[in-house]
Amino acid sequence: MNISKDKVVTMHYSVMDKEENVIDSSHDHEPLAFIQGQQFLIPGLENALEGHKAGDTFSVNVDAKEAYGERHDGFVQTVDKNMFGENEIEVGMQFRATTDDGEQTVIVVDVQDDKITVDGNHPLAGVDLVFDVEIIDVRDATAEELQHGHVHGEGGCGHHH
């Protein structure tokens, strides 16, 4: 069975940057299972999976714009430390911020006395990625999985909707 919209895909993957630094891999734990076409994956990887079948192994290059998007300098801001209340702020901390476009996650990238610099870009924004993929299984999604928008394990969903 070939991968197409509304098929459940189970796969192992590893993802690297162009310098072959491993960013993430499923090989040390359970494979990833998802419903194709539900926008669970970045667009470039989801598009590359179309037509593949169980047993296929391949590599795919995904440009930043088809991954986590390009970096935007406007997403980096320096704000007054008092906006964080009495919290001790350290580089690498993540916060939810209200923006003109709604809620978004920001990461603290610099702390200077009474000024904090945060970055609203995804950590992989602007990074071209390389995926090594092994397709383990492809099957039809059940009506319940399609209704809920995610894959269910044996015995059903395991939570209430």
The domain tally of the chain equals 2
Residues of the chain by 3-state class (helix, strand, coil), percent to 5: 15, 40, 45
* 28 and 11 within one domain: yes
| In-domain check, residue 81 | yes
* 88 and 59 within one domain: no
Residues 130-144 have a mean pLDDT of 97
User: According to the model, what pLDDT value does residue 156 have?
Assistant: 46
The total of other beta-carbon atoms located within 10 Å of residue 5's CB is: 11
Q: Is-contact 133 59, C-beta < 8 A?
A: yes
User: According to the model, what pLDDT value does residue 161 have?
Assistant: 47
Q: Which domain holds residue 62?
A: 7-68+125-148
At 91, give phi and psi (nearest 5°).
-55, 135
Per cent of the chain over pLDDT 70 is 95
| In-domain check, residue 137 | yes
